[in-house]
Chains A and B, each alone.
Chain A
Amino acid sequence: MIALLDRMKEHLPFSLLEQDEWKAIEKSAQIVYYPEGRLLITADTRPDRLYYIIKGIVEARSGEELIDLYHQDDSFGGIELIEDQEAHCDYRVSEELICYELPSELFLELCSSNDTFKSYFFSSIVERIDMIKERRESAAMAEIMVARITRSLLHAACIVEADTPIVEAIGRLEAERAAALLVKNEEGYGIVTDRDLRKYILQREEEGLTHISQIQSYPIISVSEGELLFNVQLLMTGHSIKHLPVLDEEGEAVGILTLIDLLSYFASQSHLIGSQIEKATDLEGVIDASRQIDTMIRALHFKGVKARYIAKMVSEIHKKMYTRLFELIFPKSWHENAALLLLGSEGRGEQILRTDQDNAVVFAEEFEPEKREEILLKFTEALDAIGFPRCEGNVMVINPKWAKDAAAYREDIRNWIEAPDGESMMDLAIFYDAYAVAGNVGLFLELRDGLIETAKGHQTFLPHFARSIESFESPIGLFSRFVSLDKGHKDEIEIKKGALFALIHGVRALALEFGVTKTNTTERIKALNRLEYMSRSDATDLIEALEVLNNFRLHARLEKIDQGRVPDNYIALEHLSKLEKDTLKEAFKMVEQFKKRVAYHFHLSMVR
């Protein structure tokens, strides 16, 4: 079999075909080369074959308008063949093409013999997204199923000889803070857990118990190092045991796995990290615990948890982390007289993987913070140590602009709104997204309410504020933009500039007009729906689009970290299936509609 067909087998809808159907394909498919510019299907004619792209790009145009782009592993011509109708578009090679061609007779035969294959061509985007999700989820499941016992999961085993007096053995168990005692017998181990000790206390007199071997459970149920955790879980729950000795190849004990550790491995580690942070008594403790957050995110993402929920969890843990840092670093006198603000995506509760440090401090008026520079620097350095890169725009507490008293901020707010320029718009956006995480929160709330009031009083301000949604063109309509023009990012799209920015900022501008106090974009959209600005279905669509974009962004960033690259906002189209690309296009389309709506609402065409 030609290896190129093997690749085709991995992609929907061809992955739905059976063995003998593949035989038929092998007997009639041809590999064809087309140079750039070749017209493959002319609008208003019937195609006579199905095209499957091995390499290259084909664009579909209706007149001048670009309707769709087809990349590697996409196919086209199918619907026209099944419907026996003319194509609506011209299909032209826009990047040198190598493709498989399936003759229409064969394709129609496959459609009549395989219903799922045929129905794929008529499935909606939503159905196709579900198919991708299923695939992802099963991959995530598979990952859990193949996780194995490693020593890092184990407690050290406390091993005693069979003739050790019971009290002495318990003493060692206590001293070594071990999970259970392993008793070394002539042949194999026995185990002594709390349950056995209970028996000892009740029966030592009448049964004359003196040696540890007399109260052991023997022989033991054990597993070998490297056993699948999935099997281990079945074994432990099946025998209802809480402690499981793990042996190496020679049968020597290497440690004990407890049921609690196993279950918490399967569950998320978020609870664990959160309580570690809260219990930390020094800065190192907070830093150590916080460093585990990335590992947790990865685990959650590959278990198929949605980006939105991960962000929620992360933001909960981060709040705990900031609160603890605030308590540990900032002097007591500050606690009533200062508020620590999280800005940007962190403020909106949308940060997933660590981005930059974005934070500020508000001091009460007439409060004179002692050692101010020193303390704020210490805070920033703690964040450095956890792994937050410093903010390039210098939006951090070590910048005096973002660490001043309430009166100075009030002055800022008035200037931002009365004399808006590019920078002040950005500052205002940052401040409106701020979330007061620790200290005297009231200091900030007063400022924020003032900001909303002042903005309402200036009718001309909001359109100016909203206008920046038009600063980046979306990759929609112009599908060629789907392919970045940037040389270093060939075949990639910038998802943040391309869509996320406009969505988030448009929602922000509307939220400001309607006086919404929430900072999270999803929450803001829901609020706009409750305030009857937006219908429920529009709100749902917008939230879905946000979710899709964030998911793609998270996935790309995680992949880049895995490959040892710097995570950015580019998404490589090459690795996306047709479905994923369609999903992405659909999300871009929704953002585009939303942009039009915002532009109309603020009469942006009239704003200069």
Chain B
Amino acid sequence: MFGALRKKWNRKRLTDERFAFLFEEDQSGEVVVFDCETTGLDPKMDEIVSIGAVKIKENRILTDEALHLYVRQEKQISYKSITIHHIRHCDLKDALPIGEAIEKFLYFVGSRPLAGYYLEFDVAMINKYTRAMYGITLPNKQEEVSAIYYDKKISTIPQGNIDLRFETIIDDLALPKLRAHDALNDAVMTAMIYLKLKHTRHL
């Protein structure tokens, strides 16, 4: 109920009409799974380093049109985040300015629903820029995969503690682990989790 209202307000704040499509009814039947690699865990302070995204249509992950963007960095990337993402400054040669990257991402996503692991964070990262650039936050429907996992899991162990770590979910669902941890590979893995969960009634 409030969702529709909030969407309306959001729409009113849109300053750039090129992105009106974000608010249209989605006709594609697709879902976008995405993941951001960032310089840290604070959306206010930290920056996006790269964005990986894939579309899911029915039972397939459209890896043939996957999106993998690197973002040009103004600040030095901290040593700690380099050890996590293995993205060094030299990897960012083909990187785009953040504005361009966000634009490409929005065109890719359209009005499709979004899914992700700890999606709230990734959406907050994107919103930080869309708010500044176009006055809006992402209006798309959002689905948190760890929440879907939790719901299916809780029916089997009602009182249990459910471990929601990414690695644990991958192991539990017997999905292949990818060695590389970059935004695109994480998005692909999350997409596999999403597909498997959508096809499983109980875990």
Contact = CB atoms under 8 A, between A and B. Distances in A.
Nearest to A33: B195
A419 interface: no
B36 to A, nearest CB: 17
Nearest to B66: A2
Given A4-B188, A31-B192, A98 B63 contact: no
Contact of A31 (B174, B179, B180, B188): B188
B192 to A, nearest CB: 6
Contact of A28 (B64, B179, B184, B185): B64
A461 interface: no
B62 interface: yes
A575 to B, nearest CB: 15
Contacts of A2: 63, 66, 178, 184-185, 188
B175 interface: yes
Given A31-B188, A32-B59, A33-B196, A3 B64 contact: no
A361 B60 CA distance: 68
A35 B199 contact: yes
Interface in A17-49: 26-35
Contact of B179 (A3, A35, A96, A101): A3
B61 A30 contact: yes
B61 A3 contact: no
A469 interface: no
Given A4-B188, A31-B192, A55 B174 contact: yes
A30 B196 contact: no
B71 to A, nearest CB: 19
A26 B184 CA distance: 13
A35 B197 CA distance: 11
A101 B62 CA distance: 10
Given A2-B184, A2-B188, A4-B188, A29 B63 contact: yes
B191 interface: yes
Most A CB within 10 A of own CB, among B60, B64, B176, B180: B64
Interface string B63-74: 110100000000
Interface in A186-229: none
A99 to B, nearest CB: 10
A567 B63 CA distance: 42
Contacts of A6: 179-180
B179 A30 contact: no
Nearest to A38: B59
Nearest to A36: B199
Given A2-B63, A2-B185, A31 B178 contact: no
Nearest to A7: B176
A31 B61 contact: yes
A4 B175 contact: no
A50 B175 CA distance: 21
A27 B65 CA distance: 7
Contact of B175 (A32, A35, A98): A98
A31 B175 contact: no
A31 B191 contact: yes
Most B CB within 10 A of own CB, among A2, A6, A32: A2
A55 B176 contact: yes
A101 B196 CA distance: 17
Contacts of A26: 63-64
A591 interface: no
Contacts of B59: 32-34
A32 B180 contact: no
Contact of A4 (B62, B64, B174, B178): B178
A30 B176 contact: no
B176 A98 contact: yes
A54 interface: yes
B176 A4 contact: yes
A3 B170 CA distance: 15
A27 B61 CA distance: 13
A565 to B, nearest CB: 21
A33 B60 contact: yes
Nearest to B60: A32
Contacts of B178: 2-4
Contacts of A28: 64
Contacts of B195: 33, 98
B154 to A, nearest CB: 22
Nearest to B61: A31
Contacts of B191: 31
Contacts of B175: 55, 98
Contact of B180 (A3, A29, A30, A98): A3
Interface string B120-137: 000000000000000000
A27 B176 CA distance: 21
B192 A3 contact: no
Contact of A30 (B62, B174, B192, B199): B62
Interface string B13-44: 00000000000000000000000000000000
A7 B185 CA distance: 13
Contacts of B192: 31, 33, 98
A55 B185 CA distance: 16
Contacts of A7: 176
A4 B177 CA distance: 9
A33 B56 CA distance: 11
Interface in B162-203: 174-176, 178-180, 184-185, 188, 191-192, 195-196, 199
A3 B52 CA distance: 13
Contacts of A98: 175-176, 192, 195
Most B CB within 10 A of own CB, among A4, A7, A31: A31
B91 to A, nearest CB: 13
5 closest residue pairs by CB, A with B = A3-B178, A31-B61, A33-B195, A3-B180, A32-B60
14 contacts: A2-B63, A2-B66, A3-B185, A4-B178, A6-B180, A7-B176, A28-B64, A30-B60, A30-B62, A31-B192, A32-B59, A33-B60, A33-B196, A55-B175
Given A30-B64, A32-B59, 13 more contacts: A2-B184, A3-B180, A4-B178, A6-B180, A28-B64, A29-B63, A31-B60, A32-B60, A32-B61, A33-B61, A33-B195, A35-B199, A98-B176
